[in-house]
Amino acid sequence: MPDTAVAALAPDIAASNTSLRAYLHGLPGVDEVGARARAADLATRSIKTTAKRAAIDLAIRMVDLTTLEGADTPGKVRALCAKAALPDPQDRSVPRVAAVCVYPDLVATAVSALAGTGVGVASVATAFPSGRAPLDAKLSDTRRAVVDGATEIDMVIDRGAFLSGDYRKVYEEIIAVKDACGAAHLKVILETGELVTYDNVRRASWLAMHAGADFIKTSTGKVSPAATLPVTLVMLEAVRDFRAATGRQVGVKPAGGIRATKDAVRYLVLVNETAGPDWLDPVWFRLGASSLLNDLLMQRTKLTTGAYQGPDYYTLD
């Protein structure tokens, strides 16, 4: 295990898969019906028009503007970076997004395009999206992205290992990737759409946090269902309870399928009501999305001018 690992579990718990399993299965079970009902209830909350403008700006600042297509090109990434830094060139009061998220081979392009803008560069690594590769390949994937200037690494866990009960393998892989990240922040993608139960979402959240995750993230965007409000609620409870237990705050990133302003606002309400206002900041909460930004811009313009601009008014996101 690397010396710099941030393993917070007591050594006797982390010593074997049996003890790790006993620890994770000893966490309180999730009331799935209750979680769905609570998320549905919070989704009906309306916010005042004055608060909506602030919520939209906050949501823009929380966006990890993402392109993760096999057909991505340096030109597409440069265009996305320009949009990330200056989302609406006609209105310079629009804030920049948190980060651009790309495949490792496009990190250098993004870093160069975003120099001096304050926008971070996140890269998926560790054999995204399947996570099916030997550990040394995952680590070299991660190191390459960091050397090229990535400030954030979004890794996927080995869901096969997790679902077959090999928690120690998942735990040690996260520790090793965290070590390979150096100063870059590590977001751990649980791929909740493959975890079957909310109890597993809670266990994977705690496992990732103990192994040193700076963020826990719902999904790759390549598996359905991707981000949902109830699953995000379970993860927000986990980061809240983990901070209470350990004193360390971990961020949350729902990702995949978030396309509308109303959905982004629902996530912000969920954050406020579940983890609390300490998480209402791009340092602690992100929205991973490839096509949310234009809707946020359209709704913002509507609030400012009273009129919609059509989607064609904005560059593609």
**What is the set of active-site residues?**
154, 217, 253
* Helix/strand/coil for 274: helix
**Contact stretch for ligand G3H (CB under 6 A) within 26-34, 176-184, 273-281, 283-291:** 283-291
Q: How far is CA 7 from CA 11, 118, 178, 278, in A?
A: 9, 30, 10, 24
Q: Where are the beta strands (DSSP E) in 219-316?
A: 251-253, 287-289
User: Least distance in Å: CB of 228 to ligand G3H?
Assistant: 12
Considering the complex, state which of residue 24 and residue 63 has its C-beta at the smaller distance from ligand G3H.
Answer: 63
Does position 104 bind ligand G3H by CB under 6 A? Answer: no
For 257, residues 6+ apart whose C-beta sits below 8 A from its C-beta are 219, 221, 224, 225, 226, 227
**Contact stretch for ligand G3H (CB under 6 A) within 39-47, 92-100, 109-117, 284-292:** 284-292
User: What H or E segment, with its residue span, contains residue 261?
Assistant: helix 261-274
User: Least distance in Å: CB of 153 to ligand G3H?
Assistant: 13
**Contact stretch for ligand G3H (CB under 6 A) within 10-18, 27-35, 252-260, 297-305:** 252-260
Q: For residues 194, 199, 200 and 205, what is the CA-based torsion angle, rounded to 10 degrees?
A: 110
Does position 255 bind ligand G3H by CB under 6 A? Answer: yes
Q: How far is CA 31 from CA 266, 276, 280, in A?
A: 21, 20, 25
Q: Which of 108, 176, 289, 296 binds ligand G3H (CB under 6 A)?
A: 289
Q: What would the two tokens of residue 39 be?
A: 């998320």
**Contact stretch for ligand G3H (CB under 6 A) within 20-28, 83-91, 104-112, 289-297:** 289-297
CB-CB neighbours of 305 under 10 Å? 10
Q: Which of 185, 256, 271, 314 binds ligand G3H (CB under 6 A)?
A: 256
User: Among residues 218, 223, 125, which one has the least CA distance to residue 177?
Assistant: 125
Does position 221 bind ligand G3H by CB under 6 A? Answer: yes
Does position 68 bind ligand G3H by CB under 6 A? Answer: yes
Q: How many of the chain's residues bind ligand G3H (CB under 6 A)?
A: 12
Query: How far is 228 from 254, CA to CA, in rounded Å?
Result: 8
The angle at the Cα of 108, spanning 104 to 112, to the nearest 5 degrees, equals 145
User: Least distance in Å: CB of 132 to ligand G3H?
Assistant: 18
Q: Which of 288, 294, 298, 300 binds ligand G3H (CB under 6 A)?
A: 288
User: Least distance in Å: CB of 122 to ligand G3H?
Assistant: 9
Identity of residue 118: G
Considering the complex, state which of residue 212 and residue 221 has its C-beta at the smaller distance from ligand G3H.
Answer: 221
User: Least distance in Å: CB of 246 to ligand G3H?
Assistant: 26
For 51, residues 6+ apart whose C-beta sits below 8 A from its C-beta are none
Does position 290 bind ligand G3H by CB under 6 A? Answer: yes
Considering the complex, state which of residue 189 and residue 207 has its C-beta at the smaller distance from ligand G3H.
Answer: 189
Residues in contact with ligand G3H by CB under 6 A are 66, 68, 101, 220-221, 255-257, 288-291
